[in-house]
Amino acid sequence: MTKTALLLVDIQNDYFPGGKNELQGSLEASQQAQRLLDIFRLGGKPLVHIQHVSIRPGARFFLPGTEGVEIHPNVKPLEGEVVIQKHYPNSFRDTPLLEHLQKEAITRLVIAGMMTHMCVEATTRAAYDLGFECLVASDACASRELAFEDQIIPAEMVHSAALAALNNTYAKALRTTEIIILLEAEQEFEGEQA
């Protein structure tokens, strides 16, 4: 039987307006992530907040002890909710995430967060390699423009390219509303089976 957990990756103040590494569409993405969070809380379903804390020399954002490292108020953890800190893009690297998910018998992850092309992508690929089914909430993720050689790649293209690379192999990339409809349909089916 499928057991699903919500994984909210790095939805932290530095990615928002006024932060040290503002992303395009971060506020809107956090509002979609909040919808997912509300659904999982309402249903008493498992969820995990991932918080990136920068420890590498020369890091510019997510610095320990700053307001920027805190999880954004739109998805702020409630007392008792699981918060796992990480220091690398992959949320599984040197963290207790895998052990926690295994202990909870989780088989599928709904993933939302920031940045689409970095920590969301690294975490989704790792999760797939570890045997989890993954659903990425495409409109609950945000990215920023990147530069390569003499090109500037707009944030929308970075975001879409990352999702396109994940979709169909590593994950299903779906909009938040589509994920909610899927989860509600499954819950109704499980209720009929009980």
Q: What is the pTM of this model?
A: 0.95
End-to-end CA distance of the chain: 13
Structural domain of residue 117, as residue ranges?
4-193
- Give the CATH number of the domain where residue 70 resides: 3.40.50.850
94-104 pLDDT, tens digit each = 999 999 999 99
Domain count within the chain:
1
CB contact set of 165 (below 8 Å; sequence gap of 6+): 121
Residues 48 and 100: beta-carbon distance below 8 Å: yes
9-49 pLDDT, tens digit each = 999 999 999 999 999 999 999 999 999 999 999 999 999 99
Cis peptide before 157 (omega within 30 of 0): no
